Amino acid sequence: MSLLDAGLATARDAVCRVSEFACPPCQTALALLEERVRLGGGGRLATTLCGLDEALGGGIPLGKLTEVVGPSGIGKTQFCLKLALLATLPECYGGLNGRVVYIDTESKFSSRRMIEIGQKSFPQIFRQEGLAQKMAGRILVMRPASLSDFTKSLEQMKVTLLQNDVKLLIVDSVAAFMSSENERGTTGFTQHPLRWALSFLKSIAELTRIPVVVSNQVRSQSNDDGYHYSFEVKRRGDGDGAERLESHLVAALGIQWAHAVTIRLVFESHSGQRFIKVAKSPMSPAVAFPFIVESSGITLLNDEGIDVSGPEITSIRCQGQNLLGLLPFENRG
């Protein structure tokens, strides 16, 4: 007020007008629904894993941040490779007919493997001349070597996405630049080195209306993780010990990141099988699907899925398999 030498009433009025201007427009939910129907395709990228697509309401949603998290070697990169391929396919085959930006922070991207997935899953398309080359040519792979490279490439991402008709952004994996020391020191109010990148990914998804898929790593539980509220702690005696042992892995990047993603798919293994669990999704039930990794990528063993009740849907297990010793895929022909 003193800056503008204006009275209180004028200042209040100015605040009102600015707020009205700065406020985003209002829409009714019905208008949102009609827009969704009009856009067709349900606004989804189908993963071709029928059970998972049905649980997610058609597939990976556009304009939202989807996270894929699991222990190393379980199949997250295989999943991302298949998604990248699917997005390049023409719409008649269920794709988005566009380019893909694949940010590969751990040098796991293998074009040979992706073509193989394509040939085995869509033999009729890939038999056509030159199509494999065209599809592969639509995937832009970036390999940032450090956190600052990653941040820099993200800053230019908005322009890249809009200029090149990109229909899918994959970051595999977003936790690569986080060391465990970095993370442990950031409980409470975060000075998280990745904080900016994470919120940027989410806003970019909304702005460009494309799906953004990120893969995340796991880390072992530490004493810094809280699990109970103060009112719960009073009642529990010594139950904590038993609970801790059940799930000894947690997703990296902390609870703030867990709140920020819209959909979280947990890949885990136990009892000799691997599962994809829909751990967080505003519109899906809590189900787990057993899967295997074949030459044609990830295949679900059971489209019905298994209902999972309780907090188990968010836990990540890694038992019963020596994942480090496994090949990237089992040759089932």
Partner 1 sequence: MAPNEIAQKLLLQGAQNAWDMLSEEQSQKHITTGSGDLNGILGGGIHCKEVTEIGGVPGIGKTQLGIQLAINVQIPVDYGGLGGKAIYIDTEGSFMVERVYQIAEGCISDIMEYFPCHHDKSSSGQENLQPESFLAGIYYFRICSYTEQIAVINYLEKFLGEHKDVRIVIIDSVTFHFRQDFDDLALRTRVLCGLSLKLMKLSKSYNLAVVLLNQVTTKFTEGSFQLTLALGDSWSHSCTNRLILYWKGNERCAYLDKSPSLPVASTPYAVTSKGVRDAGSSSCKRVRVM
Q: Which residues of 111-130 are buried (b: 16+ CB within 10 A; e: fewer)?
A: eebbbbbbeebbeebbeeee
- DSSP state at residue 23: S
- The total number of residues written for the chain in this structure: 333
Residue 190 binds partner 1 (CB under 8 A): yes
Report 196-225 residues binding partner 1 (CB under 8 A).
198-199, 202-203, 206, 223-225
Answer positive or negative: Cα dihedral of 180, 325, 104, 169: negative
One of 15, 39, 301, 306 touching partner 1 (CB under 8 A): 15
Question: Alpha carbon 187 to chain centroid distance?
Answer: 22
Q: In the block, which residue shows the tokens 């699991």?
A: 70
Report 25-64 residues binding partner 1 (CB under 8 A).
26-30, 32-33, 36, 42, 54, 57, 61, 63-64
One of 130, 259, 322, 325 touching partner 1 (CB under 8 A): 259
Reply yes or no: is the peptide bond before residue 153 cis, omega within 30 of 0.
no
Among 89, 99, 93, residue whose Cα is nearest residue 137: 99
Residue 19 binds partner 1 (CB under 8 A): yes
- Decide: residue 180, CB within 10 A, 0-12 exposed, 13-18 middle, 19+ buried: exposed
Residues 250, 219: contact at Cβ < 8 Å? yes
One of 4, 8, 9, 24 touching partner 1 (CB under 8 A): 24
Residue 264 binds partner 1 (CB under 8 A): yes
Shortest distance, CB of residue 162 to partner 1, whole angstroms? 17
Which of these segments, 98-106, 127-135, 210-218, 311-319, binds partner 1 (CB under 8 A)? Answer: 311-319
Tell me how many residues contact partner 1 (CB under 8 A): 67
**Amino acid (one-letter) located at 147:** L
Shortest distance, CB of residue 241 to partner 1, whole angstroms? 13
List of residues contacting partner 1 (CB under 8 A): 15-16, 18-24, 26-30, 32-33, 36, 42, 54, 57, 61, 63-65, 187-190, 195, 198-199, 202-203, 206, 223-233, 255-256, 258-262, 264, 279-280, 282-283, 285-287, 307, 309-314
